Amino acid sequence: MRAPAATGSAPEDPLALARARAAAHGLPLMTEADWPPSPDLPEGLSRAFLRRSLMLPLGRDASGHWRVALADPADTTALAALRVALGADLALLVASQPALLSRLDDMPSAAPVPGAEPAEGDAQDSALDAPVIALLDRVLAQAVEARATDLHFEPGPAEMAVRQRVDGMLRPVGALPAATGRAVVARLKILAGLNIAERRLAQDGPIRAVIAGRTFDLRLATLPMVDGEGAALRILAGRQSLPTIASLGLQPPAEAALTAALAQSHGLILITGPTGSGKTTTLAAATGHVNDPRRKIISIEDPVEYHIPGISQVQVNPAIGLSFSAGLRAFMRADPDILLVGEVRDAETAAVTVQASLTGHLVLTTLHTNSAAGAVVRLAEMGVEPYLLAATLRLSVGQRLVRLLCRHCRTETQGRLPFAEDIQRLCGHDPARPAAHWTAQGCDHCGRTGYYGRLAIFEVMPLTEALRAAVLAGAGTASLHRTALEEGMQPLMADGLRRVLEGVTSVEEVLRVVQDG
């Protein structure tokens, strides 16, 4: 499941979940004062096991019981194993997953215990073992609970590191013995229908999985590395509810410009930004907005992330020659009204996309550029003539994802803002005066990062007559950007600053994701 780029649904509160589990099992809830400065772990206890099980022994209490903080009291198998390893009864306390992960991640990995690692053997046989299947299920469940968008399995000489990408940032979540890691990767390859015996070449494939009672679409990519075969697993948003235009968080003038462009019967609408900027979510919201039983809508995507009822969705398959451009050509013979192109990657796709928009179709697509104005230049560089762009382009959207400040620990401060004076004035702030804004701190709710969730910031550039003339004249990115500002476009940095002044995100976060003005 891709982390919501800018949807209206709030992510589940880990503290609320921990509180509910504590109440359901009649156990106490961990407070900040309950955590010891450094847990006194017995020799030989597997740190990898503790990370996988989300449990942390804290030391013995007065009665000789081991105090154990854990996320899921219902995991009786892991509790039984820990009870055997400690050789004592357990006194359980429930903690939130971020609180446990932040402390487990600070612990050094113990040296491997002789005999603890599975013996070398056939990877496929190991991948079919019940313990490996259960381990992978648990890792996936933890990733979903942590709102991760990606899982990385990275082999090393003695162990395989496992990391999650949460809110755009990677977090270490544990390490597996090397042989166990190889079995997990082999299990993933079996689920994706890949060649398990081929470890010298990169492979990729889809997985449909039920995790924590919900169906997810996953995308596996394997890589041959120096210390073995690694894997990256994208957790797609295929089973999420469809976002709406209103849930994206656009400023009212920008939202009005986008909905006006979507109301056109033909033309080209571009959603732009770097990888991981939430373009697919915006494209899905726009597609949902124009979805109407009276219209024939066909999409070609790689991969299909949002399954939208009423739309004919096609998955790219290069192995059989079904590329974006080939799919588009086929679609033109299927009497469509609206075409959705997952991404313009090459000159051929760009040419067919523009041609489709010129022949009476509304075409929505994404492009990897740094700004709304840069998208025009990128298409020109792909060989699209300026007169065709001027005739077909209706609107270009640039966007980024910024992390949201954690509401439980953010801190208000006063000071001058490190933004250009014209950007501050666009947002109605006097650059000469200090402004109230918020900074990240870190707590158990957010895993001590200071941030929880993400939101998109935008710049929306409708093609006005002045911009059309600039496109026809072959203007560069900087010139188009200046003209767009003169025509009333609010740049990304200004949208980010508005979010800073609202207390939604921090100055540092906006400056991190927006590298230009």
For 273-308, the DSSP string reads -STTSSHHHHHHHHHHHH--TTS-EEEEESS--S--
What is the Cα–Cα distance from 130 to 77, expressed in whole angstroms?
Answer: 13
Residue keyed to tokens 């407070």: 31
pLDDT, residue 44, reads 59
pLDDT, residue 115, reads 32
- Asked whether 487 and 464 are in contact (CB, 8 A), the reply is yes
Indicate the helix (H) or strand (E) that contains 495: helix 492-501
The β-bridge partners of 223 are: 230
- Asked whether 238 and 245 are in contact (CB, 8 A), the reply is no
- pTM reported for the whole predicted model: 0.74
Instruction: Tell me which residues of the chain have a pLDDT lower than 70.
Output: 1-12, 43-46, 84-85, 108-131, 237-240, 516-517
- What DSSP assignment string belongs to 261-275? HHTSSSEEEEEE-ST
Backbone angles phi, psi at 75, to 5 degrees: -80, 75
Full set of structural domains in the chain with CATH: 14-103 (3.30.300.160), 123-235 (3.30.450.90), 246-513 (3.40.50.300)
Predicted confidence (pLDDT) per residue in 376-431, tens digit: 999 999 999 999 999 999 999 999 999 999 999 999 999 999 999 999 999 989 99
Phi-psi region of 204 (alpha: psi -120 to 50; beta: other; left: phi over 0): beta
What is the Cα–Cα distance from 248 to 5, expressed in whole angstroms?
Answer: 8
Structure tokens belonging to residue 355? 């041609």
CA 231-234-239 angle, to 5 degrees, is 145
Predicted confidence (pLDDT) per residue in 418-433, tens digit: 999 999 999 989 999 9
Handedness of CA 373, 375, 381, 384 (dihedral sign): negative
